[in-house]
Structure 1
Amino acid sequence: MQRTFFDTDHEAYREVLREFLTREVEPHYERWETDRLIDRSAWLAAGRSGIIGLAVPEAYGGSGVTDYRFRNVVSEEIARTATTSFGGGIATHDDVVIPYVLMLGTEEQKQRWLPGMAAGELIGAIAMTEPGTGSDLQGIKTTAVRDGDDWIVNGQKTFISNGIHSDLVIVVARTDPSAGSKGFSLLVVERGMPGFSRGRKLHKVGLAGQDTAELVFEDVRVPTNNLLGTEGSGFIHLMENLPLERMSIAVIAIAAAKAAYQWTRDYVFERKAFGKPIGDLQNTRFALAEMLTEIEVTESHIDRCVLALNAGELTAVDASKGKWWASELQKRVVDRCVQLHGGYGYMMEYPIGRAYVDSRIQTIYGGTTEIMKEIIGREIAAASA
């Protein structure tokens, strides 16, 4: 079935992206994976080429592109080149952090932060997870106490994407211990603020080059004009942005599954066993048929969700459906593709080996599969009451 999701502008942007990845990312990617850190120069190059900050309005130095299909193109080309760590960092920056500033920032905050974020000069992160809390955000212990024109922030965060490179960190902190879910606020902590430090650069199973770190806040004075959104509405603000974050993961997942399938389809008709290509074996053909069907059916659904996102109609429940299904599909497809590669599939010199270790986190971050099902199940129960 012919896919009609993209138009000529998207395909022209794809060519720009391919040239950028060939020039600025692929020659350095193996070193970044070994160093467990992507060069900041790659962020600056991405800013110059219009690869990041797409949704930032032109008045603040961005492209002013709100059509998420352009971010689809980024995800597909990064998956095709197996440069997932680079893609993970910019997804956090573009699909999580920048939208918070666009949605909640004051005019002064937008002028102060967005130009640097669009240029790749300021790298963003969001700090929710703590050593003792995962999906249960109500267990957050990081505190922010008002002191004159400042908030005094104390606490620790972990598993923070872009944690090492981050210049701006949106910190979820408890600002009113007695207010329950209405006692949390979002504060932007900036690089260089006294008391803000980085802990370990965490050694992950996959996505080696994408820096993930522990962050420590010890009596950090954060000016009141770094409050993002409304005091006490931190949870509400998080819920408002979750559909985009989860759709970002779903788009990355289907792009990765498709790339893994395409590498494997090509491989099985080149690799011979028992005197003929293994693609001529019935078991292989059945596996390819099953994967292709699941990918195309899922891709059609995710495309529909992206169009709903563009129209401002994507619900949190529909985003949850897309996120858990696409990420679980990615895991299944990549695993089967490794099997069809045989021993070579277990070698990191093959893109499928890298895709195997990079795919495992997809069903965990952004809300686990179990949490996604709980969100969907609650709506079903509410509708049945």
Structure 2
Amino acid sequence: MTTEIRDSGTDHPADGQGAEAASFAETALKLGGKSDDEARRTGAIDKADDQVEALFSAQYQTVNSPAHRAVWDRKTPIDAFDIPASPVDPALHAKMEEALAVVRRHKQAGTLHNHEGRIDQAVLDDLGPTGYWGLLVDPKYGGLGAPFAHFAPFLARMATLDGTIAGLASIHGCIGAVDPVQAFGTAEQKQRFLPGLADGSRLSAFALTEPGAGSDLTALKTTAVLDGDDYVVTGEKLFISNITPGRTIGLVCLVDDRPAVLIVELPEEENEQFQLRKYDIYALSHLYNRGIIFNGLRVPKGNLLTPPKGDGLTIAYHGLNLGRVSLCANASGTMRLMMAGMIPWAHYRVTYSEPIARRELVRKRLGELAGLIVGCDALVAWCAGLLDRGYRGEMECIVAKVFGSEALKHAAVELMMKTHGGRSFLAGHAFGDNVHDYLAPCIYEGEGEMLSMALFKSLVKHHGKTYFEPVGKALAAAGIKRANPLNPLHAIKLAPVAMPYLKWLVGRRLMWSAAPELPSMPGALRGHAEYAAGGLQGMALKIDSAMQKFQLSLADRQCRMASLSQDCQDLITILATALYASRQHDEVIRGAADVLCQRLRQRIDGAKPSNQYFREVTTLGAAIADGAFPGLEEIPTDEILMRYDR
């Protein structure tokens, strides 16, 4: 995958706003009575989002993304949800197989981890010649240049062997130094940094979080002050994954009081200017997660990345979508590993003279687990295809991240743990040893509900700027705190700015949405796709109703925003999954997609599972218990612990 962003050919951020204009969020918060400081800080994040938008051509920005259009257009853009996979280049496939073979060999030999339980350096070194660390690097700098649509599903395969090693490829290639340099670096910076990043001699990480700056990126305190030919870096970073001396990091810091990104090649040993803050942390248990303390570390000024628009926050946001899709892919592979361990245990474990593989509850768990896996596969394939086509993919990648992380959590606790019972907590059991790693994705790459609200903001932004912001400004000018349409004075003052909105509202309520143009699909999956397309069309009025009801106080209605966002996410997942499964020829995959879509529809409608659903999910689970789920034969399973005489 080759990505370079220097200039989109426009001189303004998305939505036509000037570089110094107040963002939508800042304007809305000020009109809603928030403090200047809160409005400014939130506005800075929103403006960084605008600046990222400006890096993409108009047709690939959020307002023209499939998720946005599915809600606000009068016809669901099915072609943008139905993206067939392209064949993998044989040479690339061979290198991927080499990487898998390396990890498989170390796993069989028991040499994956060092004496601290972390991935051993020998494993990382052995992966270098396979091209693993350069999968996303342009070939002219020594990488393999893999399309993201091939990279992400490959991570799912790697995760069936080891989720940490799959995660390291994402940290390095998506949110580490590779994407910032490749997307925003100069020709000289690329030539200097990318070859070492590609061959793995300089593995990388991204240093953003600080002790007092997590989701509030305006609270950054680490500074880089220019002194001659160097920046002098002072400050502290925390919870940085994949950090040891000698790593290369993308460091988000303040340069001249503005967020910036420096590429920093950490010293090979700690010294007075650079120390690691070490602490006990449960996740991720097999890699190094540490703090970094800078006390006057000198970094060449030529290491500063300069985006064509925006600042360091623009760079920070750019790579996150790649990481979110990779997280979903990792979840898919990890859940396959869970399934591969549940099946032999279900056949081995006997209660009341019967293996639990014959019990309805266990079969239901296997069927639902298959649905979660297929849902992750569908979202990974769809989102990766969009990114390769040039879309920003902000909302779509959030859907993948939230679904993947929540699916992994549910699979671990509700499906895997309950099936294995007390043995789940034995040392050496996959659940007991890795439970924190299964839960961590709910926080990493953005906490799920916070991201859900971010998706909602992206969904309402254009509608709000077009129709609600003019009304809000008119209210403020007239000294009216809340509009009352029954008050004649309000009606007179608001009429000029309210008419475009009323025209939209009447048109939306009176005009039927066009039926989606679906490809040939199996009956059940077609029904799910039609349900999702219709539901997404209906979300426009539901969202608009919430905007009417809460007006400028909507920003404080986090629970309502998260709820509406979740409905949108579930509908998007149904549509993407139904279309993906329709392109597959395996009936078990199609059945798993049907089960997932039914479950999501139950959640949206607030309905209980039907007897038909239970029959279908348990029938699917029985087939999976007999080995029908494709690909499980490639996955090595752990030994059953504390066997007993049956």
Which stretch shows the higher mean deviation, 125-134 or 102-111?
102-111
Which stretch shows the higher mean deviation, 190-199 or 146-155?
190-199
2:285–2:434 Cα contact (<8 Å) kept: no
Which digits, 9 at most, give the CA deviation of each residue in 1:70-95, with x for residues without a partner?
A: 3421x2233222x2233332321122
Verify: 1:124 aligned to 2:204, yes or no: yes
Alpha-carbon spacing, 1:299–1:163, altered in 2? closer, same or farther (3 Å)? same
Aligned AA (1:53): G
Aligned mates of 2:134, 2:87 — CA distance in 1: 20
1:14–1:77 Cα contact (<8 Å) kept: no
Aligned AA (2:266): R
Which stretch shows the higher mean deviation, 131-140 or 228-237?
228-237
Matching residue within 219, 223, 233 for 1:139: 219
Verify: 1:296 aligned to 2:378, yes or no: no
Aligned AA (1:41): A
1:257–1:330 Cα contact (<8 Å) kept: yes
Which stretch shows the higher mean deviation, 85-94 or 364-373?
85-94
- Any residues of structure 2 matched to 1:1-385 within 5 Å, and which? 9=90, 12=94, 15-25=97-107, 27-29=109-111, 31-32=113-114, 34-73=115-154, 75-81=155-161, 83-97=162-176, 98-177=178-257, 183-192=258-267, 195-230=272-307, 233-335=311-413, 336-385=415-464
Amino-acid identity (%): 27
Which digits, 9 at most, give the CA deviation of each residue in 1:84-112, with x for residues without a partner?
A: 23333232112222111111122222222
Q: Could you say what secondary structure the match of 2:297 adopts?
A: strand
Aligned mates of 1:68, 1:195 — CA distance in 2: 44
C-alpha displacement of 1:4? 6.9
The equivalent residue for 2:639 is: none
C-alpha displacement of 1:268? 1.0
Which digits, 9 at most, give the CA deviation of each residue in 1:36-90, with x for residues without a partner?
A: 43332322211112222112222222222234423421x2233222x22333323
1:5–1:303 Cα contact (<8 Å) kept: no
Alpha-carbon spacing, 1:297–1:59, altered in 2? closer, same or farther (3 Å)? closer
Q: Could you say what secondary structure the match of 2:348 adopts?
A: coil
Alpha-carbon spacing, 1:102–1:28, altered in 2? closer, same or farther (3 Å)? farther
Aligned mates of 1:244, 1:71 — CA distance in 2: 9
1:186–1:227 Cα contact (<8 Å) kept: yes
Aligned mates of 2:93, 2:263 — CA distance in 1: 36
Aligned mates of 1:288, 1:102 — CA distance in 2: 41
1:151–1:223 Cα contact (<8 Å) kept: yes
Aligned mates of 1:351, 1:5 — CA distance in 2: 34
Q: Could you say what secondary structure the match of 1:52 adopts?
A: helix
Alpha-carbon spacing, 1:265–1:109, altered in 2? closer, same or farther (3 Å)? same
Q: Could you say what secondary structure the match of 2:212 adopts?
A: coil
Greater strand percent: which structure?
1
2:174–2:320 Cα contact (<8 Å) kept: no
1:122–1:167 Cα contact (<8 Å) kept: yes
C-alpha displacement of 1:384? 4.2
Which digits, 9 at most, give the CA deviation of each residue in 1:308-343, with x for residues without a partner?
A: 122222411111111011111111011121110112
Q: Could you say what secondary structure the match of 2:132 adopts?
A: coil
Which digits, 9 at most, give the CA deviation of each residue in 1:132-158, with x for residues without a partner?
A: 111111111101122232222110001
| Structure 2 stretches lacking a partner, 5+ long | 1-83, 465-646
Aligned mates of 1:327, 1:303 — CA distance in 2: 16
Q: Could you say what secondary structure the match of 2:369 adopts?
A: helix
Aligned mates of 2:387, 2:426 — CA distance in 1: 38
Aligned mates of 2:381, 2:260 — CA distance in 1: 33
C-alpha displacement of 1:30? 6.0
Aligned AA (1:353): G
Alpha-carbon spacing, 1:209–1:252, altered in 2? closer, same or farther (3 Å)? same
TM-score when normalising by structure 1: 0.89
Q: Could you say what secondary structure the match of 2:410 adopts?
A: helix
Aligned AA (1:17): A
Aligned mates of 1:258, 1:293 — CA distance in 2: 11
| Structure 1 stretches lacking a partner, 5+ long | 178-182
Aligned AA (2:118): L
TM-score when normalising by structure 2: 0.55
Q: Could you say what secondary structure the match of 1:35 adopts?
A: coil
Q: Could you say what secondary structure the match of 1:269 adopts?
A: helix
Aligned mates of 2:128, 2:141 — CA distance in 1: 13
Which digits, 9 at most, give the CA deviation of each residue in 1:264-287, with x for residues without a partner?
A: 133212322221210101111122
Which stretch shows the higher mean deviation, 44-53 or 296-305?
296-305
Aligned mates of 1:96, 1:382 — CA distance in 2: 26
C-alpha displacement of 1:230? 3.8
Which stretch shows the higher mean deviation, 237-246 or 189-198?
189-198
2:237–2:291 Cα contact (<8 Å) kept: yes
Aligned AA (1:56): V
Alpha-carbon spacing, 1:71–1:296, altered in 2? closer, same or farther (3 Å)? closer
C-alpha displacement of 1:221? 1.8
C-alpha displacement of 1:12? 4.8
